Each structure stands twice: as structure tokens, then as C-alpha cells.
Amino acid sequence: MNDWGEPAGSGALGDGGEESLSGSDLDGGNGERGALDDHLWILAGETVWDLGPAQLDADADGVPDSLTRGADGQITVYTDTDSDGRVDRITEMDPTGRCSVSDLDPDTGLWQASVLGRLE
């Protein structure tokens, strides 16, 4: 969490059992189910990472849209806010209570810090 401009969770992909799907048939083609159906995914550079199925319903609409990862006392929550499967919000909390929320700008593909703070 030292660099608030780029979510730390996006740089740690591959450490929590995530699978790279680069080169896979992501949409399934011909009406078939794609490799990412019911899974959350994130694009890091040119690599697509399958984070696995959503586990939590962060917006209380009855549909799981988030999953968590933790390491070294830091918790990262990956959220798909628009139900397309792509993670577009990353929330990070560290052991000292610092937190950040970064949202993906759909026009540029860049992550923008939207909330910085401290949990008391």
C-alpha cells in the first residue's frame, strides 16, 4: 500500500492460486459458455487473470460480486460493480488501518484512487 496510485492487489496476481487465461477462448464462441463465466477476472498488462468465483455480495443485491485475498495482514477485496465479470474496484486494508479504494476508469483502463483513509 505504499503506492496509492496503483492498487497493490493488482501487482500480486498469481500468488493466490489465480490462473492466467491469456490466449484462452474467453467468450466461449458460438453461444458456448466462456472460460470466465461466473468468475471474476482482471487485466494486468496484456495478461487476463481468473480470480475465481465471487464469494461476497458487496452491494446487497443478492448476487455475489466480490472476493477477498489476504497476505501479511493486508486484505484486498476485488469487486465487479457492473456485473460484467471484470474487476473494476479494488479495496485494500493494511494491518495499521490504512485503506484505499481504487476504481477502474473504463475509458482509459487506468486505475484511479477514489478513496484514501484510515479505519479507526
Query: What is the spatial distance between Cα 54 and Cα 68, in angstroms, rounded to a whole number?
Result: 9
* Nearest residue to 86 (alpha-carbon basis) of 27, 32, 30: 27
The predicted pLDDT at position 28 comes to 47
- Supply the pLDDT for residue 38: 80
Return the pLDDT at 35: 55
Instruction: For the chain, give every domain's residue range.
Output: 8-118
Per-residue pLDDT reduced to its tens digit, 61-81:
999 999 999 999 999 999 999
Q: Please count the CA atoms within 13 angstroms of the CA of 95 that sit on its side-chain side.
A: 4
Can you give the pLDDT at residue 4? 36
Q: For the chain, which residues score pLDDT lower than 50?
A: 1-12, 26-33
Of the candidates 47, 46, 43, the one whose C-alpha atom is nearest the C-alpha of residue 20 is 47
Residue 114's nearest CA partner among 29, 12, 36, 5 is 5
Which pLDDT score is estimated for 44?
A: 85
